[in-house]
């Protein structure tokens, strides 16, 4: 930010073209009105760049379109389908790898500990069993923390980061190969280490990384991996495949391809409004997303079923987490999965789940703030020590709670004879995971059964266990798990939140079912249904998802009749939680200071216009600019796009004398104006819109004239009759922060937008011409050459440009986007917001009625905090 020249917003120090924020102290932010609540202090913010989702339709791109025929179009579609299929298969294989080693390490750990506990229960050496369990857990967690030190962005579930990426914000390192490796290895160690985390959430991040990297056929981590693959070389294409990878990750985690598709639309995509009157708008298309999800699901299902059952092709295990079949016992004639009367209980559970979720999010937010202030600024070793502390406390609590709080309950007859009454599609009967720790024969420890099993097995216990769990055990388990899961989410290990939330909510639901059965006497209640509804209520209260989560749970249960109660519960939980705070992912996005755009603006924001929120202080380039000016602009600013403009001033004919550069720019401006006006004249007889009604007669005279020089003078008089002369500054001089306000805001005719990466590419490849030559002699670059360095374009500060003559001229007009989206200064903010968000823009020029650029709108200008600040200024001026 130090090199940014006069182009930072006066309120929040946000670069108008690059979308990057300069860090301010909390005191400064309070003065600027960005702190709404006293306890909700603004934390230090990092600089984030935006992504270029808008298509740049320049001359190289048009040349590609001209050569595109039906054969090439079909080939492109075939390649896209093949890439989508490959993303799904690779994501499924990643899930298989994680699941295999998590099972391996977990079975090893629990096998050793169980043997030790059984022996030491009689010998009185339970402390040794605790030390063995601590040894396993601390070792695994230590390895997971080390992997996060290698790639810090691998911590957490990755869903907030993926959501930011799809919203148009570039989070550094989010889709790198090194991130994938650290994420995959780290999550299997953290889950095997006994932390209250899940492996399903990180699968979404892993699928997104696969989707981002596989179509590129290259890696920054392994620089030798590089193939000449000419397709999908833009942020726009990468976004689509990242969305497909996220859908594949959900599908592999839950065996829910439809739910994965909806998750990618609801939670990830920036281009789907949740209102009922809007439909998804994703370039890749829903069929591609669904196909990718299906590929991931069946790849994982095929290999898991073959490995665990030895029956290849049986497809018995669709996802990493399977809820099994919900079915009442044949001996219980009064049992029903759910009845109409139960809907009232489900609504109440939804309200309680929303309250619990809001409490969870509030506590976790405070913990995250504490970590950002007191843990993260310290040496990285402190983060490892915090992870080890969490692991130590969790292990001790689990062991002591199982020994002290667990109740020895009599096994049911079905448990003793192994009756498979529920027909579960899992590798073994649920009752085989019952733990008899610290209990005599023919009894089991209900607390140990929940704590000393993998979390997926504990969920199945709560959903399908034929035995019972005492209310005290369920309440104690819920409280302990709630607090430890809240503390764990945010430590420096890869961690998911789906399974911990489901397990915590299932305990809550099972507790409700026990109370209704034992104390109210409702004998028709099926405990598994209430456990499922409790899991949905708590998970919905934490993450605030509705449609996609409903479909995910329905697909996981394989029971369509649960659709209505799950949907009602999730909606009530979301409404209740939203009354207090945001979802957990949105909270962590906000804590990172990411300029995430909401679904829509508030109604009162329409009191503002584009001119109220735009950045008027611009850094621009001319159609023909010397190399020394371009290098100076690129090295002294951090903007990622520059308007291409020409100046409107008097006496241009005098400037043209003896200066080829100025002459080329003025000729380009006049030819551009005449061309556009002539085209509009052909479309309509009214010439009121661009650039002025007077041009209609001018165009008629220009077409019939045989003396263009005189008519150019007449055109110049009409265009500039209202402008006063300005200082003699033109393309030989770069924009300077020493300019006066009159110089800085002089009229500029807008011709297009060019990206920093495009300018750097032109300089690297020597695209220029000398002053003694015509611009037609400048070398031309193809679309493939312009995108060859994507996504790692050279840095202007690392380039050796000594071989280039600084007096050479670059014609940027063939490579600029001549027709970007623009808005009028009088456009309402809601219209600006909808256009910016729906089209996935990074820069939105504000152009007046005569074709002059008066400002530019970026992502920051549309964030809720910025709009609120401008609205307060608006009220003060009334």
State how far the Cα of 744 lies from the Cα of 379, in Å rounded to an integer. 46
Q: What angle do CA 476, 447, 562 make, to 5 degrees?
A: 80
Q: Is residue 577 part of a domain?
A: yes
State which of 590, 607, 626 marks the end of a domain.
Answer: 590
What are the φ and ψ backbone dihedral angles of 641, each rounded to 5 degrees?
-155, 150
Q: Is residue 717 part of a domain?
A: no
Inform me whether the pLDDT recorded for 384 exceeds 70: yes
**Alpha-carbon torsion (566, 569, 572, 574), positive or negative:** negative
State which of 571, 590, 609 marks the end of a domain.
Answer: 590
Average pLDDT over every residue of 59-74: 82
**Do 488 and 575 belong to one domain?**
yes
| Whether 552 contacts 256, CB under 8 Å | yes
Average pLDDT over every residue of 318-334: 71
Inform me whether the pLDDT recorded for 732 exceeds 90: no
pLDDT at residue 227 in the model: 56
Q: Is residue 481 part of a domain?
A: yes
Is residue 276 classed exposed, middle or buried when 0-12, 13-18 and 19+ CB atoms within 10 A define those classes? exposed
**Do 444 and 498 belong to one domain?**
yes
Query: Residues 6 or more apart from 156 whose CB is under 8 A from it?
Result: 489, 490, 494, 495, 588
Is residue 47 classed exposed, middle or buried when 0-12, 13-18 and 19+ CB atoms within 10 A define those classes? middle
Query: Residues 6 or more apart from 565 whose CB is under 8 A from it?
Result: 338, 342, 343, 346, 529, 533
pLDDT at residue 534 in the model: 94
**Do 297 and 363 belong to one domain?**
no
Q: Is residue 854 part of a domain?
A: yes
The total domain count for the chain is 3
- Predicted confidence band of residue 430 (pLDDT cuts 50, 70, 90): low
pLDDT at residue 114 in the model: 83
Q: What is the CATH number of the domain that holds 853?
A: 3.10.580.10
Which phi-psi region, left, alpha or beta, contains residue 442 (left: φ > 0; alpha: ψ -120 to 50)? left
Q: Is residue 434 part of a domain?
A: yes
Q: Summarize pLDDT for 691-722 with one digit per residue, the tens.
A: 443 344 444 444 444 444 444 454 444 344 33
The structure tokens 């809001």 sit at 358
pLDDT at residue 659 in the model: 58
**Do 603 and 628 belong to one domain?**
yes
**Do 287 and 383 belong to one domain?**
no
Which residue range(s) make up the domain with 545?
338-409+429-590
Q: Exposure string (b/e) for 651-661, b if CB count within 10 Å is 16 or more?
A: ebeebbeeebb
Q: How far is CA 520 from the centre of its chain?
A: 46
Q: Is residue 794 part of a domain?
A: yes
**Do 582 and 602 belong to one domain?**
no
pLDDT at residue 63 in the model: 84
| SS3 state of residue 723 | coil
State how far the Cα of 471 lies from the Cα of 477, in Å rounded to an integer. 10
**Do 342 and 298 belong to one domain?**
no
Distances (CA, A) of 38 to 42, 62, 572, 870: 10, 54, 30, 20
pTM of the full structure:
0.79
State how far the Cα of 407 lies from the Cα of 288, in Å rounded to an integer. 51
Contacts 24+ apart (CB under 8 A), 270-278: 270/166, 270/167, 270/168, 270/597, 270/837, 270/840, 271/837, 271/838, 271/840, 273/599, 273/600, 274/599, 275/599, 275/600
State how far the Cα of 452 lies from the Cα of 455, in Å rounded to an integer. 9
Please name the residue ranges forming H helices in 375-409. Answer: 380-404
The structure tokens 């504000």 sit at 846
Q: What is the CATH number of the domain that holds 438?
A: 1.10.3080.10
- Predicted confidence band of residue 485 (pLDDT cuts 50, 70, 90): very high
State which of 568, 590, 612 marks the end of a domain.
Answer: 590
Inform me whether the pLDDT recorded for 422 exceeds 50: no
**Do 576 and 612 belong to one domain?**
no
**Do 762 and 837 belong to one domain?**
yes
pLDDT at residue 420 in the model: 40
**Do 405 and 449 belong to one domain?**
yes
Query: Nearest-CA neighbor of 211 among 255, 259, 179?
Result: 179
Q: Is residue 160 part of a domain?
A: yes
Least confident of 193-202, 639-648, 668-677, 772-781: 668-677
Token pair of 259 as six digits: 């739910």
Q: Is residue 392 part of a domain?
A: yes
**Do 621 and 750 belong to one domain?**
yes
Reported in sequence order, the residue ranges of 712-870 that DSSP labels E, i.e. its strands, are: 748-755, 809-811, 843-847, 853-858
pLDDT at residue 272 in the model: 47
Top-confidence range, 103-112, 320-329, 435-444: 103-112
**Do 824 and 759 belong to one domain?**
yes
């Amino acid at each position: 930010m130090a090199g940014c020249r006069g182009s930072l917003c006066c309120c929040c120090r946000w670069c108008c073209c690059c979308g990057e924020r300069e860090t301010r102290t909390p005191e400064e932010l309070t003065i600027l009105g960005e702190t709404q609540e006293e306890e909700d202090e603004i934390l230090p913010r990092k600089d984030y760049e935006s992504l270029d989702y808008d298509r740049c339709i320049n001359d190289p791109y048009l040349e590609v379109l001209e050569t595109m025929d039906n054969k090439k179009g079909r080939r492109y579609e075939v390649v896209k389908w093949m890439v989508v299929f490959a993303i799904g298969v690779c994501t499924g294989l990643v899930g298989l790898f994680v699941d295999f080693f998590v099972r391996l390490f977990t079975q090893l750990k629990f096998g050793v500990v169980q043997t030790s506990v059984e022996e030491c229960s009689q010998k009185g050496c339970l402390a040794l069993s605790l030390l063995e369990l601590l040894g396993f857990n601390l070792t695994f967690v230590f390895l997971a923390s080390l992997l996060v030190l290698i790639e810090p962005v691998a911590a957490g579930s990755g869903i907030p980061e993926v959501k930011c990426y799809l919203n148009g914000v570039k989070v550094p390192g989010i889709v790198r190969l090194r991130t994938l490796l650290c994420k995959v290895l780290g999550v299997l160690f953290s889950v095997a280490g006994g932390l209250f985390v899940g492996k399903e959430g990180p699968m979404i991040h892993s699928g997104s990384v696969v989707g981002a990297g596989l179509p590129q056929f290259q890696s920054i981590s392994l620089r030798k991996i590089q193939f000449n693959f000419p397709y999908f070389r833009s942020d726009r294409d990468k976004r689509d495949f990242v969305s497909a990878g996220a859908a594949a990750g959900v599908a592999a985690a839950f065996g829910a391809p439809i739910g994965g598709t909806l998750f990618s639309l609801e939670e990830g995509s920036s281009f789907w409004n949740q209102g009922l009157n809007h439909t998804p708008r994703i370039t890749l298309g829903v069929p591609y997303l669904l196909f990718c999800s299906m590929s991931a699901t069946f790849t994982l299902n095929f290999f898991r079923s073959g490995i665990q059952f030895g029956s290849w092709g049986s497809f018995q295990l669709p996802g990493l987490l399977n809820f099994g079949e919900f079915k009442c016992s044949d001996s219980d004639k009064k049992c029903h999965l759910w009845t109409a009367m139960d809907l009232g209980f489900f609504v109440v559970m939804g309200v309680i789940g929303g309250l619990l979720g809001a409490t969870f999010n509030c506590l976790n937010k405070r913990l995250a703030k504490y970590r950002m202030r007191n843990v993260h600024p310290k040496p990285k070793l402190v983060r490892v020590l915090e992870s080890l502390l969490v692991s130590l406390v969790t292990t001790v609590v689990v062991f002591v709670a199982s020994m002290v709080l667990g109740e020895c309950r009599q096994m049911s007859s079905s448990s003793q004879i192994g009756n498979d009454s529920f027909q579960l599609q899992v590798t073994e009967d649920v009752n085989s995971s019952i733990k008899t720790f610290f209990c005599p024969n023919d009894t089991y420890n209900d607390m140990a059964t929940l704590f000393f099993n993998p979390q997926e097995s504990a969920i199945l216990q709560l959903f399908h266990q034929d035995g019972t769990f005492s209310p005290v055990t369920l309440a104690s388990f819920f409280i302990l798990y709630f607090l430890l899961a809240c503390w764990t989410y945010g430590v420096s290990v890869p961690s998911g939140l789906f399974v911990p939330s489901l397990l915590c909510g299932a305990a809550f639901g099972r507790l409700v079912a026990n109370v209704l059965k034992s104390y109210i006497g409702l004998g028709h209640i099926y405990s598994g249904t209430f456990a499922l509804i409790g899991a949905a209520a708590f998970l919905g209260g934490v993450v605030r998802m509705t449609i996609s989560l409903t479909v995910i749970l329905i697909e996981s249960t394989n029971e369509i009749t649960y659709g209505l109660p799950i949907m009602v519960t999730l909606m009530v939980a979301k409404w209740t939680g939203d009354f207090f705070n945001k979802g957990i992912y949105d909270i962590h996005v906000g804590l990172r200071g990411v300029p995430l755009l909401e679904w829509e603006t508030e109604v009162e924001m329409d009191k503002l216009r584009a001119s109220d929120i735009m950045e008027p202080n611009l850094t621009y380039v001319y159609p023909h600019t010397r190399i020394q000016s371009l290098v100076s602009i690129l090295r002294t600013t951090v903007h990622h796009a520059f308007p291409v403009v020409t100046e409107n001033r008097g006496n241009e004919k005098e400037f043209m004398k003896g200066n080829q550069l100025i002459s080329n720019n003025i000729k380009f401006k006049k030819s551009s104006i005449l061309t556009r006006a002539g085209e509009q004249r052909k479309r309509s007889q009214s010439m009121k819109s661009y650039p002025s009604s007077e041009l209609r007669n001018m165009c008629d005279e220009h077409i019939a004239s045989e003396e263009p020089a005189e008519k150019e003078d007449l055109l110049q008089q009409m265009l500039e009759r209202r402008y006063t002369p300005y200082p003699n500054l033109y393309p030989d001089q770069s924009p300077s922060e020493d300019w006066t306000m009159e110089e800085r805001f002089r009229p500029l005719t807008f011709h297009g937008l060019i990206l920093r990466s495009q300018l750097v590419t032109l300089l690297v490849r020597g695209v220029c011409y000398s002053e003694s030559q015509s611009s037609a002699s400048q070398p031309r670059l193809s679309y493939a050459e312009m995108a060859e360095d994507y996504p790692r374009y050279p840095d202007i500060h690392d380039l050796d440009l000594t071989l280039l003559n600084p007096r050479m001229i670059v014609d940027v007009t063939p490579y600029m986007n001549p027709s970007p989206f623009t808005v009028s200064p009088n456009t309402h903010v809601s219209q600006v917001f909808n256009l910016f968000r729906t089209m996935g823009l990074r820069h939105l020029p504000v152009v007046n009625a005569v074709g002059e650029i008066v400002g530019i709108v970026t992502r920051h200008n549309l964030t809720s905090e910025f709009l609120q600040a401008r609205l307060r200024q608006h009220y003060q001026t009334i």
